[in-house]
């Protein structure tokens, strides 16, 4: 198999650019995944809260204790300027005033004008404390309305609110015991994968095919006694092995990033990446058919993956892209790849739907078929031109 052996030698000598693109891809994944905030992790935080108790009753003291149980209580003078200064200089995140008559009003079933507060405008922390206080007050009101005495109502309220609700997040893995790092890193890895795959395959497969099919060399090999069919089969075999090797290499990178073998729905992402590898191979082969100059390949290896990355939601989330851009990018295979990946990554915009996921894969596969049909057409046209 002289053609196959030479194919592999040519691959070996042209690996540098492919390795550079692989390095860029790995760097991108590590850089973005390590700088990203965990978007699916819940953590209760302790805030600085000042409580000014004007009522000074059993109920108001119980509310103060409840707030103090999960936050740090800070003391500030009951003066508007002092309070605003404390918020401005972040000595406190929230200032609550329990108004005089708090306990009386709850006992009477009133829930209006019990409390006032100061907080920074549009503060998530403020909304969080608001919710906690409202929850406490409404629970306490309910128990006191049921004719419980204050002490019993406070005790039952504390019992009720001490029960925590268990929250689970559905992501790549079915077993649900993966770490936050696992989710973010894999999501980044599979999202950025099309950029890496297209860049690497164009920089190696396209270059090798151009060199193997160079006009002068093709004339010499085609006039030899090795049948053209045999030569073509040897080149196809070499190309299949090369594409498979690139895909396996990226999956190994994925396993390293993951810190172990994929589990659960991550295998669907692997399947998605395999289908997209076929699309990328189609793009690389079509490029080799359309240009015979290796020096243009570096240009194509930058333009094609970068434009797909910006248009299809690789570098910018699809949910942030304009309608016009999305309408256009539907005609690009990476759009469907990212749509499927987003479903698995459990973003706020996409939830996993098996049939929709398979539809995305089907559309990607159709793109691959269309690309290979174009390659056949382009080759036929070239041959007819002599």
Contact positions toward another protein, by CB under 8 A? 2-3, 5-6, 9-10, 12-14, 211, 214-217, 219-228, 386
What is the enclosing helix (H) or strand (E) of 138?
A: helix 124-145
Shortest Å, Cβ 285 to another protein? 19
Helix and strand numbers (H, E) in the chain are: 16, 4
Rounded Cα distance, 146 and 157, in Å = 12
Shortest Å, Cβ 250 to another protein? 24
Shortest Å, Cβ 214 to another protein? 7
If the CB atoms of residues 109 and 386 are measured against another protein, the closer one turns out to be: 386
If the CB atoms of residues 204 and 251 are measured against another protein, the closer one turns out to be: 204
CA distance readout (Å), 45 to 3, 38, 49, 151, 175: 65, 15, 12, 28, 27
Q: Do 52 and 79 touch, CB atoms closer than 8 A? A: no
Shortest Å, Cβ 1 to another protein? 9
Cα 296 to chain centroid, rounded: 33
Cα 219 to chain centroid, rounded: 49
Strand-by-strand arrangement of the 48-53 sheet: 72-73, 48-53, 94-98, 115-119
Strands in the chain per DSSP E: 48-53, 72-73, 94-98, 115-119
If the CB atoms of residues 147 and 223 are measured against another protein, the closer one turns out to be: 223
- The tokens of 380 are what? 């036929």
Shortest Å, Cβ 257 to another protein? 32
Give the chain's radius of gyration (CA, Å): 31
If the CB atoms of residues 27 and 228 are measured against another protein, the closer one turns out to be: 228
Q: Do 305 and 199 touch, CB atoms closer than 8 A? A: yes
CA distance readout (Å), 212 to 183, 207, 209, 222, 381: 42, 9, 5, 12, 19
If the CB atoms of residues 5 and 382 are measured against another protein, the closer one turns out to be: 5
If the CB atoms of residues 127 and 217 are measured against another protein, the closer one turns out to be: 217
Shortest Å, Cβ 244 to another protein? 21
Nearest to 334 by CA among 319, 315, 348, 314: 314
Instruction: Please count the residues of the chain.
Output: 386
If the CB atoms of residues 14 and 309 are measured against another protein, the closer one turns out to be: 14
Question: What's the sign of the alpha-carbon dihedral 128, 129, 131, 132?
Answer: positive
Burial 274-306 (b: 16+ CB within 10 A, else e): ebbbbbbbbbbbbbbbeeeeeeebeebbeebbe
If the CB atoms of residues 12 and 163 are measured against another protein, the closer one turns out to be: 12
Shortest Å, Cβ 341 to another protein? 36
If the CB atoms of residues 123 and 221 are measured against another protein, the closer one turns out to be: 221
Shortest Å, Cβ 209 to another protein? 13
Q: Do 376 and 289 touch, CB atoms closer than 8 A? A: no
- The tokens of 293 are what? 């100059």
């Amino acid at each position: 198999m002289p053609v196959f052996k030479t194919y592999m030698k040519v691959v070996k000598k042209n690996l540098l650019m492919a390795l550079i693109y692989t390095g860029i891809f790995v760097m991108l994944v590590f850089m973005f995944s390590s700088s990203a905030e965990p978007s699916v992790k819940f953590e209760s935080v302790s805030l600085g809260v000042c409580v000014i108790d004007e009522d000074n009753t059993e109920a108001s003291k119980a509310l103060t204790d409840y707030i103090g149980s999960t936050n740090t209580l800070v003391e500030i003078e009951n003066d508007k300027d002092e309070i605003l200064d404390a918020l401005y200089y972040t000595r406190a995140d929230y200032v609550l005033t329990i108004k005089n008559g708090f306990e009386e009003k709850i006992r009477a079933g009133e829930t209006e004008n019990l409390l006032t507060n100061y907080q920074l405008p549009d503060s998530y922390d403020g909304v969080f404390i608001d919710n906690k206080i409202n929850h406490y007050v409404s629970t306490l009101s309910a128990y006191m309305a049921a004719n419980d005495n204050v002490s019993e109502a406070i005790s039952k309220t504390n019992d009720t609110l001490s029960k925590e609700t268990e929250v689970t997040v559905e992501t790549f893995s079915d077993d649900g015991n993966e770490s936050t790092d696992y989710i973010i890193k894999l999501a980044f890895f599979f999202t950025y994968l099309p950029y890496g795959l297209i860049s690497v395959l164009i920089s190696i497969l396209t270059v090798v095919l151009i060199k193997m099919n160079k006009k002068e060399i093709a004339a010499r090999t085609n006039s030899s006694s090795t049948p053209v069919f045999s030569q073509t089969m040897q080149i196809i075999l070499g190309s299949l092995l090369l594409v498979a090797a690139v895909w396996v290499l990226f999956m190994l990178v994925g396993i390293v990033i993951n810190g172990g073998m994929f589990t659960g729905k991550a295998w669907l992402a692997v399947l998605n990446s395999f289908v997209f590898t076929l699309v990328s191979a189609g793009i690389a082969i079509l490029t080799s058919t359309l240009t015979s100059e290796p020096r243009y390949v570096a240009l194509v290896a930058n333009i094609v993956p970068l434009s797909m990355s910006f248009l299809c939601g690789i570098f910018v989330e699809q949910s942030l892209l304009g309608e016009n851009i999305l309408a256009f990018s539907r005609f690009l295979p990476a759009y469907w790849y990212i749509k499927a990946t987003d479903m698995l990554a459990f973003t706020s915009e996409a939830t996993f739907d098996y049939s929709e996921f398979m539809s995305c894969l089907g559309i990607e596969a159709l793109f691959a078929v269309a690309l290979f049909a174009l390659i056949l057409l382009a080759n036929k046209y070239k041959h007819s031109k002599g």
